[in-house]
Amino acid sequence: MLILGGEPRVDLLPPEVRSRKKTAERRRLLLGACIGAVVLVAGGVAAASWQATQSQTKLTAAQDRTTELLLDQSQYSEVNQVQAAVDTTIAARQFGASTEVDWKAYLTAVREVLPSDVSIDTVTVDSASPLIGFDQATAPLQSARVATLTLGLTSPTLPEVPLWLEAMEGLPGFADGNPGSIALAATGAYTVDVTLHINDGAFSNRFADAEGK
């Protein structure tokens, strides 16, 4: 390129010198790149080591905490055993009372719906147990039952058993009722047998809420 008015310059260096200068520049650039790569690698290794150290520290702390909790738990092992025994007792009580009927209260309710001049002379109860189910009726259209209550009644006048059974329909757990034999006693009174079938609506459920307390 010709520059007018410029200062004339002449490169008198031999080509070998210029070639060596370019080679030296390339070496410096390559060395700088290598140094940069080494620095980056060293930084990555340092960061990874730091993260590994932090993770190990957290793991050790968690292990120490776990050991501490296990030691604390061992101090209350007796309490846990007592609680387990209490839970077992509660469960057994609930199971044992699952088919319980308060027959005293039930007979009181029967007494209240009968005429005042009718007496209850005999009571026979056949009920389910937690281990053995109650025999169900084989005849169609008969209700499910968990107990049978057979009453021996005495009435001074001719008994109106259908009206008695109608009044008993309001009893808790009443499934159905059947009149039995009617006999005239030597005293002039009438003896009557009545059979009531009771469903699970009569269960007392005394311990039904024990688990939630």
Residues with Cβ < 8 Å from 129, sequence gap 6 or more? 99
Both 107 and 93 in one domain: the answer is: no
Taking Cα atoms as reference points, which of 193, 191, 198 lies closest to residue 106? Answer: 198
Residue 110: Cβ-neighbour burial (10 angstroms; 0-12, 13-18, 19+): buried
Where among 97, 121, 150 does a domain terminate? 97
Q: Residues 118, 54: one domain?
A: no
Cβ–Cβ under 8 Å, residues 198 and 147: yes
20-35 burial, b for 16+ CB within 10 Å, e for fewer? eeeeeeeeeeeeeeee
Q: Would residue 73 count as lying in a domain?
A: yes
| pTM, rounded to two decimals | 0.53
Task: Give residue 212's pLDDT.
Answer: 47
For every one of its 213 residues, what pLDDT tens digit does the chain have, with 9 covering 90 and above? Answer: 445 555 555 555 566 666 776 777 777 777 777 787 777 777 777 777 778 788 888 888 888 888 777 777 666 667 667 666 666 666 565 555 556 888 899 999 999 999 999 999 999 988 776 667 777 777 666 778 888 899 999 999 999 999 999 999 999 999 999 899 999 999 999 999 999 998 888 887 777 665 544
CB 70 within 8 A of CB 80: no
From 97, 119, 149, give the residue that closes a domain: 97
Q: What is the predicted pLDDT for the residue at 116? A: 93
| Together in a domain, 66 and 49 | yes
Confirm whether 7 is domain-assigned: no
Residues 62 and 35 in one domain: yes
Chain centroid, CA 11 distance in Å:
96
